[in-house]
Amino acid sequence: MQQSAVPELAHTTTRPIHWLATAAALAAVVAVSGFLKPDSATAAQADHKAPKDRPAAVAAPDPAAVRFPLDCGPVKTKVVRQAAGDLDGDGRPETVAVVRCDAGVGTPPSGIYVVTQPAGAEPRVVATLVEPKDNYSASTLAIEDGSVVAALDGYSSDSVPRYRPDVHEKAKWQWKDGAFVRSTPSEARAA
């Protein structure tokens, strides 16, 4: 037999007693660390409560809970775009919704409606910004600085295919003197 050049060292062979000792030491460290607590923080904490003079945030009206003045026959109405914000400065948000008939195919004309919800009441339509009979679809909708801004796509005549609108307008509505007044944003360009 051939003998090893390095004698077998007793401390390199693990036995169950070694594992038991390691587990006991680890348990002791964990137990002691549970009794140690960090010092209390001394930095000022921000108060996340709303000031008493500011009203609590109010949710914008849900356009799904509204019956829109849109005749769709046997199909339902569909909200395709919406934006929310305080349009009249009363501290309560309104929802602006682009609504059309859910025809399944094609792009039926849209209406753009302003929905409000007074405290304790159901949401309701308070203004129509675009009538579906005007034959427009809204490709974008946003509320910017308290104004409604939309990109409208329409048709110059009945001979223009419904899948290819050839009239493109930008429109802006702002609440003034109890009504929404339409203007054209300065960056609008005719297509």
pLDDT at 100: 94
Q: What's residue 3's pLDDT?
A: 54
pLDDT value for 2: 54
- The span from the CA of 63 to the CA of 114, in Å, is 9
- Provide the residue ranges of all domains of the chain, joining segments of one domain with +: 76-183
Q: What H or E segment, with its residue span, contains residue 151?
A: strand 147-154
Residue 9's pLDDT is 53
User: Mapping DSSP to helix (H, G, I), strand (E, B) and coil, where does residue 25 land?
Assistant: helix
Question: Which pLDDT value is given to residue 5?
Answer: 55
Burial 85-101 (b: 16+ CB within 10 A, else e): bebbeeebbbbbbbbbb
d(CA 79, CA 85): 17
Local structure of 81: helix, strand or coil: strand
Q: What is the pLDDT of residue 104?
A: 76
pLDDT at residue 15 in the model = 72
The H or E element that residue 116 is part of is: strand 111-116
Residue 170's pLDDT is what?
A: 95
pLDDT in tens, the chain (191 residues): 555 555 555 556 667 776 677 777 777 767 666 666 555 444 444 444 444 555 557 899 999 999 999 988 899 999 999 999 999 988 899 999 999 999 877 778 899 999 999 888 999 999 999 999 999 999 999 999 999 999 999 999 989 888 889 999 999 999 999 999 999 875 544 44
- What global pTM score does this model have? 0.67
